[in-house]
Chains A and B, each alone.
Chain A
Amino acid sequence: MMDLQPALNAMQERFGVRSQTYRGEISLHVAPNRIIPVAQALRDDFGFDRLADLTAVDYWPQEKPRFHVVVQLYHTEARQYLRLRTALEGNAPGLPTLTGVFLNANWYEREVWDMFGIRFEGHLDLRRIIMPADWEGHPLRKDYPLGYEEVQFTFNYDEILTRKPQPME
């Protein structure tokens, strides 16, 4: 197995990222404004050539910043994964899109926008992907109600809307 330590040290020097190892998996904590150069450097200089997964986690209400975007990169030669974590401030955050670096980030980012309401700036096709186009709210947020909701009909829609839990925007 190839040693990734030189790559991590170089990343630390160049971008000031913090690395953390847990159960043999390496995570890099990246500032939101550095995500593009970091991903670019990892792809071009250190051989992390495949984006395996991109998702997000919501830590509301116990933690601030609330959202983390989590990216899994794969190194074909070293046969290892590397995780990038980016903490995002605010209830309707944004992050530069990774589609310029990894083409297949496209749908993953659309899914994160759909499910968490995190905007990816510069994304060419940021529409909802799984929920219907006119859906309100972002279901995987922790403040999105999970069941036990009154059903709204056309005749009492507004009445029930007033006492429904409202997702923060």
Chain B
Amino acid sequence: MTETRNIEISELRHLVSERALEGETMLLNMGPQHPATHGVLRLMLELDGEEVVNCIPDIGFLHTGVEKDMESKIYQKAEVMTDRLDYLNPIGNNLVFCLAVEKLADLDVPARAQGIRVILAELTRLSSHLLWLGTSGLDVGAMSLFLYTMREREIIQDIFELCSGQRMMTTYVRPGGLWRDIPVEFEGAVRSFIEIMPRRIEEYESLLNENPIFLERTAGIGVLTYENALRWGATGPIARASGVALDIRKAMPYMGYEQYDFDIPTRAEGDVLARYLVRVAEMRESLKIIRQALDKLPYGPVNSNNRKYVPPPRSEIGVSMEALIHHFKLWTEGFTIPKGAIYAAAESPRGELGVYLESDGGSKPYRIHYRTPSFAALQLMPLLAKGHFVADLVAIIASIDIVLGDTDR
């Protein structure tokens, strides 16, 4: 019979200061059940009065073993699990999985599918930033903002429902293209959304940008300097708020991002306020990309014609024996991918989202690893929290925009 092991404070000796061992400073648990940690995150805090001396993040409460689980599922089924990792960026997660599969299988994606993927990925970015804006507003005491951002987020979810039948876990992006083409109502719905959205963003800004309480709570809090952002390999809005102009969409364009004209908003301050400003500016850039992608969207097929990977259309199954065989094979044993390893990366709302995929030539991923931006961002927490008050910690956690499903996988 194995005993439950008690973790002694001496095991964390290297993480806390000398004073904690003598009882001069206080050790306090924040979380795992705490409304401000945005999920099940536990922070072990060493406090000197109200000031944070050390912050030790403890993660894994939402670990679901997705990487292990995917090793026993065919690629089509494994993709369904990717939505659940970062549940605020489901299409981005699907997309990067498909990018990896397509790169390893050398599978082409038609231009129309690429355009739709870009529109949906940017809509997801907007919906993720909207939720982030609302909840981080709540964290620093701006209550009303949440209602407005959720109102707009609802429109985006309706668009997702329109094309995939699902509001969040869409699995709409598939290897080789999309599940199916978008309905005719899609364009009108997206156009009316990007029409109203700039006005709404101004509305949010009018609530926050000159709000003295908000400025007091965010300016100069949780500063990540340019040097530290580089040394710690920060990505996404966190890096850009510290002056590192890194965006995978620009640096290594995928899905035809190089055809769209957009900027990478950066700030030099690196504090919570700068991260807010960068994300709001990013929302405007996303709208720009969506508009261009809609204008450019070509007609044509949305799926690759490679029948070894993409199931045939329903209409063909009744008339072609070969189509029937392909359909049967693809949905029973799945497709096989040549032996090899690949790393595909995309820009998620939180930063670099990478997939390391290794295939042994079979129909299941031999090893798949998600390099998630939340995991990387949370690593910065001890650095950002040092010297701040507990109340500021709430603003800092909000500003790094973590999703615990993404950290723990």
Contacts and interface: CB of A to CB of B under 8 A. Distances in A.
Interface string B333-362: 000000011110100000010101010000
Interface in A87-138: 102-104, 106-107, 111, 115, 124-125, 127-134, 136
Nearest to A142: B71
Interface in A48-101: 49-53, 55, 57-58, 70, 72, 76, 79-81, 83
B17 interface: no
A51 B342 contact: no
B246 interface: yes
Contact of B341 (A70, A128, A158): A70
Interface of B is mostly: mixed
A111 B352 CA distance: 18
Contacts of A38: none
Contact of B233 (A51, A55, A70, A115): A51
B60 A107 contact: no
Contacts of A128: 60
B59 interface: yes
Contact of A72 (B59, B252, B354): B354
Interface residues of B, number: 46
Given A104-B379, A146-B68, A157 B1 contact: yes
Centre residue among B340, B341, B352 by max chain A CB count within 10 A? B341
Interface residues of A, number: 44
Contact of B60 (A103, A130, A144): A130
Contact of A140 (B68, B340, B352): B68
3 nearest CB pairs, A to B: A134-B5, A130-B60, A53-B371
Interface of A: 22-23, 25, 27, 49-53, 55, 57-58, 70, 72, 76, 79-81, 83, 102-104, 106-107, 111, 115, 124-125, 127-134, 136, 139-140, 144, 146, 154, 157-158
14 contacts: A22-B340, A25-B342, A49-B230, A52-B345, A53-B356, A55-B371, A81-B343, A104-B232, A106-B379, A131-B60, A132-B60, A136-B2, A157-B1, A157-B2
Given A53-B343, A102-B233, 7 more contacts: A23-B340, A52-B233, A81-B345, A103-B231, A107-B375, A129-B59, A146-B72
